[in-house]
Amino acid sequence: MSGNSGESTGGAGGGDGGGGVSGDRRSGRDGSGLGRPAASGAKLHIVRFAPAKLNLTLAVVGNRNDGYHALHSIFVRLSLGDALTVSTASIGASRDSLRVTGLTIPTVGDNLVLKAIAAARSAVVAAGTGLPELAPLLSARLSKRIPVAAGLGGGSSDAAAAIGAALAMWRVNLDAAALAGLAASLGSDVPFFLAPSVALITGRGEFVEPLPDIAGEPPAVLLVTPQLPLATAAVFKAYAQGSHQADEELALTVSERLAVEMRSGISSASLLAQAADLAAANDLRRAAFALAPGLRGFVTALEKVVERPVCQSGSGPTLWALYKTLAEARKAARFVRLAVVDGKLPLIGVGEPFIAATTIAGRLNPPVPQAMDELAGAIGPRAVHN
């Protein structure tokens, strides 16, 4: 992986996610004990795992009055994810802070973790929980393992993890409606990460229908992310300007059928058998190709290497393929790595693709946080971690 370390501060209050207000911490000074360290004097740390998501399907079903597109998409969580650690800020701090390590992110100051903490603080103050508006301030550390702007929901997952960690640090709760509103205010994908592991997503992302876990051993997934970040807004704009699939009804047909099957309980074997349909069930695929012309040829070459259908997650550019076992996905990751070295898989973007073997996670097999060097089969530019 390319290493990166960044540090930034965010607003202490107001919920604007921006510069915020400076002031004293006042942690626990109102007598509530919110955010108070443990009795032993040890500093309390809350750790949250922020899993990546995969779009098994993504159908654009219309335009909304708020400028967003209405979707019909089936999301699943993956065992690959970021790790977020939150603690109370140091004495004398005037703002929430964030330090990022691992994969490079464009701008730490714009990270959704800080915005989520600020928005959560405003939400609990508005809910009358007794939390002081300017306190307690938080210090966050994010170990970044999910590629940025890749269609894997990393930023949204980080935001959901930050909400949960902040509420735990402050020892307060929000009711379901307030929590849902908070999540939706931060991004279309954030509500999913506060829900169970498999779900049907509709609206612009705010409507989440939990679905049963996939039965049997969870399918494994090969992820290949070219180093050419695609902004979601830009991909949707290309779609709105006419970059549609040849069959504009196919993605919705596949997505609706899969939702019905998943409500009744679908097996891993059945899902694997639908790989070709899933590869065609993303209405943003052609829009991604329009923004990144080399991506189409990359997909064609990747399909030859792995000898199976290759799908796109979200707005891309992450590509994925299903496997029966993690061992098979890891073997495929090695083949892809060799194809990059041998020139059989063309390099597009700014360097070598991110490659990882992981699994679909469910409530019965929740993801387990792994250290960066334990992500078997995952590689970033010019580095391999086994």
pLDDT digits (tens, 9 = 90+) for 354-373: 999 999 997 766 665 544 33
Q: For residue 294, what are the domain limits?
A: 213-385
Catalytic: which of 82, 96, 189, 283? 189
**Mean pLDDT across 101-114:** 78
Instruction: Read off the pLDDT of residues 295-328 as tens digits, 9 standing for 90 and up.
Output: 999 999 999 999 999 999 999 999 999 999 999 9
Cα separation of 34 and 23, whole Å? 17
Cα separation of 179 and 119, whole Å? 11
Decide the pairing of beta strands 69-88 and 198-203: antiparallel
Q: Where is the domain boundary, 180, 209, 238?
A: 209
> Token digits for 126?
């508005």
Q: Where is the domain boundary, 209, 231, 265?
A: 209
In this structure, the answer to whether residues 174 and 77 fall within a common structural domain is yes
Active site residue 342: no
Q: What is the largest CA-CA distance in the chain?
A: 65
In this structure, the answer to whether residues 197 and 236 fall within a common structural domain is no
Q: What does the pLDDT read at residue 64?
A: 76
Q: What does the pLDDT read at residue 33?
A: 34
Residue with tokens 């540090």: 7
Which residues, 6+ apart, have CB-to-CB distance to 260 below 8 Å? none
DSSP category for residue 2:
-
Structurally, the chain folds into a number of domains equal to 2
Tell me phi and psi for residue 137, to 5 degrees.
Answer: -75, 155
Active site residue 331: no
Mean pLDDT for all residues in the chain: 83
| Model confidence pTM above 0.85 | no
CB 354 within 8 A of CB 71: no
Instruction: Read off the pLDDT of residues 250-305 as tens digits, 9 standing for 90 and up.
Output: 999 999 999 999 999 999 999 999 999 999 999 999 999 999 989 999 999 999 99
